[in-house]
Chain A
Amino acid sequence: MAQFPISSNFEGDFVVQLVAVDDAATMDEVAAACAEHSVNRRVAPRPGKILRVRRHSNGEVFPREMKLKDAGLLPTETVDVIFTDI
């Protein structure tokens, strides 16, 4: 268990932000950690939508249960956090 820095590019927001997340966190937990810094701050909540995490550089969407440490991300690498229906 260690804090792992990622860069959060949250759908609808204007800026990429530094977010530290436990590397044992699932991608759903990563998305929630990123949402803390965007939703209800500058991005309106979107009830009914699911947040998914994808690798910014190639658009690869990570499985929701995947652990952050298994995603092969580099420290501070940017992920997109997007609203989806599934």
Chain B
Amino acid sequence: MTKLASSDYYDLVRTTNWTPSYVSEDELFPEMMSGARGIPMEKWESFDEPYKVTYNDYVATQREKDAGVYSVRAALERANFVDSADPGWISTLQAHYGALAVAEYGAATAEARMARFSKAPGNRNMATFGMLDETRHGQIQLFFPHEHTKRSRQWDWAYKAMHTNEWAALAARHMFDDMMFTRDAASVAIMLTFAFETGFTNMQFLGLAADAAEAGDHTFSSLISSIQTDESRHAQQGGPVLKILIENGKKAEAQKMIDIIFWRAWKLFSVLTGPILDYYTPLEHRKQSFKEFMQEWIIGQFERQLNDLGLDTPWYWDEFIRSLDETHHGMHMGVWYWRPTVWWNPAAGVSPEEREWLEEKYPGWNKTFGRCWDQITENLRNGREDLTLPQTLPSICNMCNLPLVGTPGDGWNVKDYQLLHEGRLYHFGSEVDRWVFQQDPERYKGHMNFIDRFLSGKVQPADLAGALKYMGLAPGECGVDAHGYAWAGIGASSRAAE
């Protein structure tokens, strides 16, 4: 039997908007789940996906991808790269897996929402593959770190992190819940696949893959590059949905969704990817600074995509560009200073050579963030490690659930954007975080950030030990300085020595 080329039948077989006879269209596609916004069914049928994939093609391609990744892993297994890798790189891997592996598994639910409830047949088809993609990403990113659990309990946080109340996990979950699990199908297409995956996962997976290859971690490099090939396919769902919304008078709604989730993604990546690229990755293996990656992937490519669709850059674009010099440096210092509260060992990344690099990439760094690191370095050299460890908690943003940070030292500009709403005082790390809250207070007002929980008595005893217990961090899991303070010119790289 002659097999037709998929291009000859694809459009026909995915035309699956049949006329329901046992239930009404509204019952089949409830508005709460579909998010069609009154746009009639036939308009959704104009959804035209740039990537057209049949199930046969998909399975064959995915099988090849998995074969490639698993064979790289198998070939390099005996090389025990992890045992000789820089401790900063190990921290990169542990932070990455904990923050993303289970979240990717969860993303299958978001894809499933589109696969079932989108009114666009092409969206449903692509999302079915997207669902399988995300299942793959969850499983493969749990499987790869699993072999390292014999090395330290921190590796187990690849699975554990998202099931705890650890503060960074809370921040990630709040954002992912907002973007993936509590939105209708059309919103998921725009917020998850267009704003988040097109914009940000590109950077995490391609930026980090470049650094991984430089660092000699070919297993991790091939793993996340392979994942990104899936992402770049299923990220294409948002564009056609946006086109339909814009053509049918819903541009303002679409723009607001992008504005909200782009900022939320930025904040999350400022604490996850920023420190990794600018501080954890060994200096000699850094391809570009975090800011340069952001400029290339976000400002260059994402901005162009927005323009192509007839959308505007978010209203806070100038503030976003300004914060590329600031936010992740503050997040990094916060993670390092409160290092017992994370499941990886933060690399300070501020040796004299690294500081030179930071000053070159971020002119003025030495007079701002460098001032705080000067004091920290002096304390370590004077044997006062106690002063480099926290005695209280940072104030936390009620939107991004991350510390309220800004520029210290000579350029001190730290600001808390407060809001009194229905008798409760909320704190926000930026004007945009507060704006996001104000777009839908009913949606966000009930959430308690870590400080709210601490003050309400949920954390017992109400001290650092109680906080660690509440966060699920046991001895052997709490972070310590990745290099045993060797960067400060004292001691040895204790972790490496071990």
Contacts and interface: CB of A to CB of B under 8 A. Distances in A.
Contact of B388 (A9, A41, A43): A41
A10 to B, nearest CB: 8
A75 interface: yes
Contact of A12 (B329, B371, B418): B371
Interface string B380-418: 000000011001111100000001111111001011101
Interface stretch (B259-267, B285-293, B330-338): B330-338
Contacts of A57: 418
Contacts of B412: 11-13
Given A40-B379, A74-B425, A76-B427, A16 B394 contact: yes
A17 B408 CA distance: 14
Q: What bracket does the count of chain B residues touching chain A fall in? A: 35 or more
Interface in B247-264: none
Given A42-B337, A42-B376, A74-B420, A18 B388 contact: no
A17 B451 CA distance: 10
Name the interface size band of chain A.
20 to 34
A11 B329 CA distance: 17
B375 interface: yes
A8 to B, nearest CB: 8
Interface string B289-301: 0000000000000
Interface in A21-76: 36-37, 40-44, 56-57, 74-76
A75 B425 CA distance: 8
A40 to B, nearest CB: 6
Nearest to B374: A44
A12 to B, nearest CB: 5
Contacts of A5: 455
A76 B453 CA distance: 13
A76 to B, nearest CB: 6
B369 interface: yes
Contacts of A43: 371-372, 375, 408
A79 to B, nearest CB: 10
A7 B392 CA distance: 11
Given A40-B379, A77-B418, A15 B394 contact: yes
Contacts of B405: 14-16
B334 A14 contact: yes
Nearest to B391: A37
Nearest to A40: B387
Contact of B416 (A9, A13, A19): A9
A19 B427 CA distance: 15
Given A19-B392, A77-B425, A40 B375 contact: yes
Please name the 4 residue pairs, one residue from A and one from B, whose CB atoms are nearest each other, closest first: A14-B408, A42-B372, A16-B395, A16-B404
Given A14-B405, A44-B374, A56-B418, 8 more contacts: A13-B412, A14-B407, A17-B393, A17-B395, A18-B392, A41-B387, A42-B408, A43-B408
